[in-house]
Amino acid sequence: MKLKQPPAQAQALLLAATFLLTGATIIAPTEYANAQPQGQRGKQTNSELTQLLKEARKLVDAGNLDGAIALYQQAASLDSKNPKIFSGIGYLLARQGKFAPAVEAYQQAIALDPKNADFQYALGYSLANLGDNAGAAAAYTQATQLNRRHVDAYLGLGVVLAREKNYDGAIAAYRQVSKLEPKNFKAQELTGTLLIQQGRPREALRVLEQAARLAPRQGSIQINIGAAWLSLRNQGEALKAFERASKLEPRNAELQLQIGKLLQADGDLIDALYAYRAAISLKPGLTEAQAGIGSIYLQNRDYLSAIVAYRRLLEVAPQDARGYYYLGVALQGRNRIQEAIDAFQQSRALYTQQGNQVGVKQAEAALKALTP
């Protein structure tokens, strides 16, 4: 197949696909579960505090995080100057996805022990998960200043800088990891993805091939190598890389999804369709892959198949406003006007519930075109 220069929308999709691989690299902080009583207090208070911390540890091991947090909070009332207790609270809240209160807990720990690099890292992790990239970058930077060898902090810093499109800063952070740990393949891989996004695919290939030598069984590296070859308009080498990725991780549905996105971005709709179907066969509830199938059918104006694809998507994700919108597009393509109107109305209602004004306007425009 002769390669075509991808349009801006497809290029954006390619970049989004590679960026997804960088977003999953922030490593969760470790728990300070071995907090011990500290400072001067009565023997009875120390005994009660020790028992609380021991019981909290048991609850953590049993998976009762709410109960453990309650005990840590009781412990904090007895030992309000103990930073590890607040760190333990932050850790458990972060594990539950409650990142805003986790930030508060880690800030309390830092106020008590401002030179603790791990507390700063944990604060950065929680802020990053809240989308506060600037705050996270500041915390990660502070962690690296307190501990120049804090590899996870450099990795986290690279991720949030990349989110802010500070690619040079992110690459510098990843290269610092490579200096500290020359065999850290993830730093090489992430550097490669950012070089692709900067339009430097040949440099990216050199770095990614080095990452592949360090981790020859890592499928995501091969996906990024394929992305670099696509940027160089060499589909043959790209497909070889994707095939290697599939062989390395044949049961990885997310990997197949990324292959599908990259191939679709490059205009290879047939192979993209195969990749999406492979992803769904491995993980039937993978809605992104089902949406990808629907979008390919829409591109080909195969509206009947698109209707089937989007209905399958909505069976799994009935609150997917975008799915209803494109179902309406497909129905309109088959001249099934009333059904299309119903789908657009459902899309508008869901977008309204979600507070997505762009989506609301898009659905309303579609409805206006059908209901003069």
Q: What angle do CA 10, 15, 17 make, to 5 degrees?
A: 95
> What was the pLDDT predicted at 50?
87
The whole-angstrom separation of Cα 299 and Cα 301 is: 5
- For residue range 163-182, list pLDDT tens digits in order: 999 999 999 999 999 999 99
- Contact criterion met (CB below 8 Å) for 347 and 322: yes
Backbone φ and ψ for 233, nearest 5 degrees, come out as: 65, 30
Residues 6+ apart with CB under 8 A from 210: 188
Distance CA 331, CA 305 (A): 10
Question: Taking a C-beta distance cutoff of 8 angstroms, is the pair 272, 300 a contact?
Answer: no
Closest Cα to residue 155, out of 29, 51, 31? Answer: 29
Rg (CA), the chain: 25
User: 299-315: per-residue pLDDT in tens?
Assistant: 999 999 999 999 999 99
Distance CA 336, CA 216 (A): 51
Q: How many other C-beta atoms lie within 10 A of the C-beta of residue 84?
A: 23
- Asked whether residue 3 carries a pLDDT value surpassing 70, the answer given is no
List strand residue ranges (DSSP E) for the chain, in order: none
User: Per-residue pLDDT averaged across 340-369, rounded?
Assistant: 95
Residues 6+ apart with CB under 8 A from 302: none
Question: In the structure, what pLDDT confidence band is assigned to residue 10 with cuts at 50, 70 and 90?
Answer: very low
- Tell me the pLDDT tens digit for each residue of 37-75: 565 554 556 788 888 888 988 998 899 999 999 999 999
Q: List Cβ neighbours of 138 (8 Å cut-off, separation of 6 or more).
A: 124
The tokens of 152 are what?
A: 């996870």
Q: Which amino acid is at 347?
A: S
* 98: nearest Cα among 120, 143, 135, 65: 65
Domains located in the chain, CATH noted: 306-372 (1.25.40.10)
Rounded Cα distance, 323 and 310, in Å: 6
pTM over 0.85: no
